[in-house]
């Protein structure tokens, strides 16, 4: 299923840009057919919106279906158990990782299992189009799919459109119980296929207007009205690597010997040039030959539907942020063929199957209400296969706070809600003179524009515009590592047995205290030129934390950290490890004055002045201790070095 929300980045513009994301599924319980002696039901394969009221009747038997049958492997429960054991510092198996071939031999599907699945599918009349170690892909008509999966396919109204979905949960022959994990593709919402192998040019140029602060508070808006009883500082031009390394405790570590992968959709055609130019202009260490790699699909698809060029800035931000904080880390960009789940899942699988890196940064997602359970197992299987190999996945928590303003429903983002990934929340960061850490708040912005007469701020502090995603999952059970750290008021907000709470850790995200990024963009005259602008979003927080983890792995003597959450929570409460981020660190209201070009590029269209208040994230709050905006907090000076303290442990 394609995810419909946007990529989680927030550029420093007068209005929020539309986002794009690919996302998944992690466990919405769905009604399903009971198992029968002859069939074994695949829970979650009938989507919640496929109700009797929405039923428009049977799908035409001749209509075409493309599906993936995901393989459970030899020992699905054993995989989850071993993934937990190697990730838990208190386990005797901690750090005893497997090589990719070992993981496949121990947990992957056998040749006999694959042959049995292929035989079942072809005997129903479906054509096998692809076989990987994760799935068997098939195509064929509806009649064949219904025969194979033991369910009728009907058309259902979903909003203003109609989509195909199973009328009952799909099932497999009883003999394949334990062999098939799930099937995806029977539900067609909103499965369009616009094939286009040519990537579009970069998006139109965007520039920030000044004046700027070079560090927080360095330049005051002295001629503009007061806010919070004082003159506010101008927004920073954009922090750079030197400042972020200082406040997040990089010390002597540079990520040397550590491999970081980044997944996004598509691939900026100018990424190598942009990353090299940015490093040279902003004091980062020059890229070495062969330090930046790209692993791309043979073809890109759905470029119009997914707004492919909109992903270029995402990739550029991720690559430049990782290098700025961990300048000696090896970086591999893994581009997905589109923003659809199947393609994004393939990019994650590529990292795991080839162990391209120990640390994987992912700045994309969707809202939990859009997740479909049929993909949950497929995603979690990849995360678990990564964990047993010492690979950790870091996902941005989202840019719309509690999502009420965006969707009308309080909810978290996904895949950040998975119990097998590290969810990265966002902060507003104040870096002072001499690169000194001053404070952070939870990222949450309220905007108030300058009045027409220039004497006041309209409806101050204004309306909520954006903020770090977080909150309590409605579908994912509370993982063991959060117990005793996450308050019951959060964990049990949706049910008495407890659920996963997002995020786990946090870093800079607010575009008003954001990061300077450099990217080739399209100018009004049609030319393509390198240009720099300020950017934010938890899509900045995720690669920043991934880079900090690269520093920590180096501090650990190069030993992979793997799935980090058990370690992150085990360090909670230890002195000097985390900044305990709160929304009111100075005791009075905080904000910055931002000046934007009305036309996004120059002053010919006029200037727009606004106050952006900090620490006002919808209904979410950054409070003392663990909270649902910043998790355990942001890395302090002792975070990276805390991994050096146990680097000599024998596991």
Residue 8: pLDDT over 50: no
Q: In terms of Cα–Cα distance, which of 99, 38, 35, 111 is closest to 73?
A: 111
Q: Domain 207-644 carries which CATH code?
A: 3.40.50.200
Mean pLDDT of 460-464: 96
Q: How confident is the model at residue 345 (pLDDT cuts 50, 70, 90)?
A: very high
- The model's pLDDT over 639-649, given as tens digits with 9 standing for 90+, comes to 999 999 764 34
| DSSP output for 107-172 | HSPPHHHHHHHHHHHHHTTPEEEEE-SSEEEEEEEHHHHHHHHTS-EEEEEETTEEEEEESS--EE
> Is pLDDT of 193 > 50?
no
Helix (H) or strand (E) holding 359: strand 359-362
User: How far does CA 538 lie from the centroid of its chain?
Assistant: 8
Give the model's confidence band at 376: pLDDT under 50 very low, under 70 low, under 90 confident, else very high.
Answer: confident
Examine the pLDDT at 34 and tell me if it is beyond 70: no
How far apart are the C-alpha atoms of 528 and 170, rounded to whole Å? Answer: 50
Give the range among 6-10, 46-50, 263-267 with minimum mean pLDDT.
6-10
Q: Please tell me the pTM assigned to this model.
A: 0.92
Which residues, including other chains, have CB under 8 Å from residue 122's CB and lie 6 or more apart?
A: 128
pLDDT for position 5:
35
pLDDT recorded at residue 646: 61
Statement: residue 268 has pLDDT above 90: yes
Half-sphere exposure for 107 (CA within 13 Å, toward CB): 25
Contacting residues for 557 by C-beta, under 8 A, at least 6 apart = 644, 647, 648
Mean pLDDT of all residues in 270-277 = 97
Q: Which residue, among 155, 219, 169, 201, has the nearest Cα to 34 in the 3D structure? A: 169
Band of residue 26 on the pLDDT scale cut at 50, 70, 90 = very low
- Asked if residue 31 has pLDDT above 60, the reply is no
**Per DSSP, which regions of 192-291 are E strands?**
259-265
For residue 457, pLDDT over 80 is answered with yes
Helices 341-353 and 373-388: crossing angle, nearest 10°? Answer: 20
35, pLDDT greater than 50? no
Q: Is the pLDDT of residue 27 over 70?
A: no
What kind and span of H or E run contains 488? helix 488-491
The arithmetic mean of pLDDT across residues 574-580, rounded, is 97
Token reading at 6: 């946007």
In this predicted structure, what is the pLDDT of residue 37?
Answer: 61
Percent of the chain predicted with pLDDT > 90: 86
Residue 452 — pLDDT band, cuts 50, 70, 90? very high
What is the mean pLDDT of the segment spanning 585-609?
95
In the prediction, which pLDDT does 32 show? Answer: 34
pLDDT band at 582 (very low <50, low <70, confident <90, very high): very high
- pLDDT value of residue 200: 67
pLDDT at site 202: 78
Q: 14 pLDDT exceeds 50?
A: no
Q: Smallest Cα–Cα separation from 397: which of 447, 467, 476, 344?
A: 467
pLDDT of 30 higher than 60: no
Domain coordinates in residue numbering, the chain? 39-184, 207-644
Contacts 24+ apart (CB under 8 A), 463-466: 464/401, 464/405, 464/616, 464/617, 464/618, 465/16, 465/612, 466/10, 466/16, 466/399, 466/400, 466/401, 466/511, 466/537
Is residue 119 helix, strand or coil?
Answer: helix
Please tell me which residue, 333 or 647, carries the higher pLDDT value: 333
Tokens of 612: 């952006």
The pLDDT assigned to 123 comes to 97
Residue that wins the pLDDT comparison between 201 and 147: 147
The answer to whether residue 392 scores a pLDDT higher than 70 is yes
C-alpha 629/C-alpha 441 separation (Å) is 9
Phi and psi, residue 140, nearest 5°? 165, -175
Mean pLDDT over the full length of the chain? 91
The 10s digit of each residue's pLDDT in 198-242 is 466 778 899 999 999 999 999 999 999 999 999 999 999 999 999
Residue 192 has pLDDT above 60, yes or no: no
pLDDT single digits (tens) 520-537 = 999 999 999 999 999 999
């Amino acid at each position: 299923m394609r995810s419909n929300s946007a990529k989680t980045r927030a550029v420093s513009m007068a209005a929020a840009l539309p986002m794009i994301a690919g996302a998944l599924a992690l466990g919405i319980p769905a009604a399903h057919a009971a198992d029968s002696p002859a069939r074994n039901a695949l829970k979650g394969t009938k989507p919640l919106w496929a109700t009797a009221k929405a039923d428009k009747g049977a799908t035409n038997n001749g209509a075409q279906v493309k599906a993936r049958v995901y393989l459970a492997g030899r020992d699905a429960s054993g995989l989850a158990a071993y993934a937990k054991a190697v990730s838990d510092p208190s386990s005797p198996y901690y750090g005893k990782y497997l090589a990719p071939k070992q993981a496949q031999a121990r947990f992957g599907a056998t040749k006999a299992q694959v042959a049995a699945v292929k035989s079942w599918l072809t005997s129903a009349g479906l054509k096998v189009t692809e076989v990987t170690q994760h799935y068997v892909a098939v195509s064929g008509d509806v009649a064949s799919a219904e025969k194979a999966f033991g369910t009728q396919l009907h058309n259902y109204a979903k909003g203003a459109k109609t989509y195909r979905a199973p009328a009952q949960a799909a099932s497999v022959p009883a003999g394949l119980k334990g062999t098939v994990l799930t099937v995806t593709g029977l539900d067609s919402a909103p499965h369009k296929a616009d094939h286009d192998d040519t990537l579009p040019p970069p998006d139109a140029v965007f520039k920030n207007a000044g004046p700027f602060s070079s560090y927080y508070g360095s330049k005051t808006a002295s001629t503009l009205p007061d806010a919070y009883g004082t003159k506010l500082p101008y927004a920073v031009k954009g922090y750079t690597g030197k400042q972020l390394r200082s406040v997040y405790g990089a010390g002597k570590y540079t990520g040397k010997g550590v491999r970081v992968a980044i997944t996004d959709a598509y691939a900026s055609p100018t990424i190598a040039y942009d990353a090299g130019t940015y490093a040279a202009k902003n004091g980062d260490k020059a890229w070495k030959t062969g330090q930046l790699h790209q692993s791309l699909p043979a073809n890109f698809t759905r470029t119009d539907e997914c707004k492919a060029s909109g992903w270029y800035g995402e990739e550029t931000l991720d690559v430049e942020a990782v290098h700025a904080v961990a300048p000696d880390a090896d970086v591999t960009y893994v581009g997905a063929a589109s923003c659809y789940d199947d393609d994004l899942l393939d990019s994650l699988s590529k990292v795991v199957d080839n162990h391209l890196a120990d640390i994987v940064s992912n700045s994309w997602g969707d809202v939990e209400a859009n997740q479909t359970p049929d993909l949950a197992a497929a995603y979690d299987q990849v995360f678990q296969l990564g964990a047993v190999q010492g690979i950790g996945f870091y996902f941005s928590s989202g840019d719309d706070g509690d999502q009420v303003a965006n969707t009308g429903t309080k909810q978290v983002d996904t895949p950040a809600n998975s119990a097998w990934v590290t969810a990265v929340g966002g902060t507003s960061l104040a870096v002072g003179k001499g690169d000194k850490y001053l404070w952070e708040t939870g990222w949450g912005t309220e905007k108030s524009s300058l009045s027409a007469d220039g004497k006041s701020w309209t409806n101050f502090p204004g309306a909520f515009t954006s903020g770090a995603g977080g909150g309590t999952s409605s579908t994912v059970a509370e993982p063991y590592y959060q117990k005793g750290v996450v308050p019951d008021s959060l964990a049990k907000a949706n049910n008495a047995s407890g659920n996963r709470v997002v995020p786990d850790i946090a870093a800079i995200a607010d575009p008003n205290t954001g990061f300077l990024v450099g990217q080739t963009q399209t100018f009004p005259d049609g030319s393509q030129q390198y240009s720099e602008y300020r950017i934010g979003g938890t899509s900045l927080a995720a690669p920043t934390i991934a880079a900090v983890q690269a520093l920590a792995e180096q501090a650990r003597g190069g030993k992979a950290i793997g799935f980090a959450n058990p370690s992150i929570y085990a360090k909670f409460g230890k002195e000097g490890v985390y900044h305990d981020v709160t929304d009111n660190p100075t005791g009075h209201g905080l904000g910055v004055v931002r000046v934007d070009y009305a036309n996004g590029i120059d002053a010919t269209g006029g200037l727009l002045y606004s106050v952006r208040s900090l620490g006002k994230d919808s209904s979410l709050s950054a409070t003392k201790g663990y909270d649902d905006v910043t998790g355990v907090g942001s890395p302090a000076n002792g975070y990276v070095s805390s991994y050096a303290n146990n680097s000599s442990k024998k596991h």
